[in-house]
Structure 1
């Protein structure tokens, strides 16, 4: 059994008492946000036979609740690189008419405060006279949609900030983006960072969750501290003023690295290895 959210994890632990089969817990959030997280962390690290952390950061947090380091393995969430082949670059241009002739900065994620879209809008308001003509393409939806729109309007950016809502064609849209910015205040995995790298984009991300690990310590992109407006502005300006061929070279290197280390096939293979090791161990006990 391998549950992926707290209710099913609790049910699995109770079921495990009766059916006596191995159980694996996927850790895709950071158990350090409050009392409930701490209780869950202690319960799950004690009760599950193996825990799969999506990043070294989530593994470090989980290790606070157990001395058995061997019980926790790190397997990042993988992305299928095939999704980013043969993408339709015209998809973005037909959705946002001005995108063809502008520097397109993109963000993908739910529109909630901790995802940090408001910070990018604020920084772009400061940088507007230093940047080439630009769009800020926000892919995703959420409760902060209206507030973000009003904020962009208050800064005079209503023609530059474009809300595309929830989309199922993210790879196509990313193919028309020039720079991906992921400004989250907290993040366990950094899946969108992987997708941006797979799309061959230069990426700016906050140094939270798995982003630093995914970007090889910043070698393959720009890492900034959460909430650091100055660093974010500097990184955006640097990429925007960079020659296009250099951006493409950096993006190609990032894509190559992401395919090698974060492909879906690797995630499946390593997860299967965890399952097989537990099944074999269970079989040895039965003999």
Structure 2
């Protein structure tokens, strides 16, 4: 079985993590191929995982030239299924069926998008020509149904994490590296610096928190276009002694081992790999009640949900957990088991591979 993954480029985000999970764990009879529009910032990672990587320009959602090239590539490599990850690649793949109607298409939706009426209209049309739509959460599924897309074509497969890699470790060396004392409360956020990730709200919440707790550090892990703006906001609120910018890091389990509470301040989130990774490492989470995030918390008592933008509630919840070790430890004891039961990589892969087999047999 030959599966073609089409993604615009390989960057540093959840969609790429999803793709790595597939490429690192193929079934014996599954061969993967990848098409990208260009080499992204993490292109080397895809080359290390897949020997069949092609660069193919995709200029717009209706690029018929690209569609013809995709069809030709599929015929030459005997591709059975195309799995797409964003709107552009999905439309182009559907158009490629004009030239290669035998190929099956899976449209994987990783985002809850605020689409305009034109995109909603074309989504309804193009969805009729895909064989299955995979949503990473029920919230994503609901957003598509509201656009008028038939639920019969939709299947929810939750993101899963490698629980053998993301697991509780000793305190390790991160606190030593950053000169953080053992009795200091450590809060961590891991995501790109983009507006929807809620960093502005996080800084406002931390500014409120310092009124009640003097001894805390917030580790901000990631890169992105809004980092400069957030650095200025940290200075504006005189939080330089509390906030540490770590940039892009690969040693996430070690950072989480030094973390007391993981913070997810997002304004919009389909579902979060970072939250699930933190929980798999035994770290309780305080997260905004947005998108598919509540679906994680419905599976077990692993933390606290707060309204996005409510800095007072943010500070109050952190203070309550800081002063209530019994509650915090209760959350910790539930985190990892909940992930293993509901958000493991093994479960995600099994459901995805079964989908491949069902489409081929069908």
Provide the TM-score with structure 1 as the length reference: 0.90
Aligned to 1:50: 132
Aligned to 2:74: none
Aligned to 1:102: 184
State the shift of 1:16 in Å: 2.2
Segments of 5+ residues of structure 2 without an aligned counterpart are 1-81
State the shift of 1:219 in Å: 3.5
State the shift of 1:218 in Å: 7.5
Aligned to 2:332: 251
1:242 and 1:86 map into 2 onto residues whose CA distance is: 21
Of residues 122, 133, 145 in structure 1, which corresponds to 2:227?
145
Contact 1:25/1:44 (<8 A) preserved: no
How do residues 4-43 of structure 1 correspond to structure 2 at under 5 angstroms? 4-19=85-100, 20-35=102-117, 37-39=119-121, 41-43=123-125
How do residues 230-249 of structure 1 correspond to structure 2 at under 5 angstroms? 230-243=312-325, 246-249=327-330
Contact 1:132/1:240 (<8 A) preserved: no
Distance change in 2, residues 1:132/1:201 (3 Å): farther
More off after superposition, 92-101 vs 185-194:
92-101
Contact 1:16/1:23 (<8 A) preserved: no
2:91 and 2:332 map into 1 onto residues whose CA distance is: 42
Q: C-alpha deviations, 1:230-287, integer Å up to 9, x for none?
A: 22222122122221x5423312202110111000010011111211111111xxxxxx
State the shift of 1:132 in Å: 4.8
State the shift of 1:209 in Å: 1.8
1:270 matched to 2:270? The reply is no
Of residues 280, 284, 291 in structure 2, which corresponds to 1:209?
291
Segments of 5+ residues of structure 1 without an aligned counterpart are 282-287
- Secondary structure class of the residue paired with 2:155: strand
2:181 and 2:341 map into 1 onto residues whose CA distance is: 31
**Structure with greater helix percent:** 1
2:114 and 2:122 map into 1 onto residues whose CA distance is: 10
State the shift of 1:129 in Å: 3.2
Aligned to 1:285: none
1:31 and 1:229 map into 2 onto residues whose CA distance is: 25
2:135 and 2:207 map into 1 onto residues whose CA distance is: 38
Distance change in 2, residues 1:47/1:65 (3 Å): farther
State the shift of 1:18 in Å: 2.6
Name which structure has the greater RCO, CA cutoff 8 Å, separation 6+: 1
1:40 and 1:187 map into 2 onto residues whose CA distance is: 23
1:119 matched to 2:201? The reply is yes
Aligned to 2:167: 85
- Secondary structure class of the residue paired with 1:82: coil
Contact 1:54/1:77 (<8 A) preserved: yes
1:210 and 1:44 map into 2 onto residues whose CA distance is: 24
- Secondary structure class of the residue paired with 2:164: helix
Contact 2:161/2:345 (<8 A) preserved: yes
Contact 2:169/2:281 (<8 A) preserved: no
Q: C-alpha deviations, 1:72-108, integer Å up to 9, x for none?
A: 0100111010112364632421331125341001111
1:70 and 1:185 map into 2 onto residues whose CA distance is: 29
1:162 and 1:171 map into 2 onto residues whose CA distance is: 17
Number of positions where the alignment pairs a residue of Structure 1 with one of Structure 2: 280
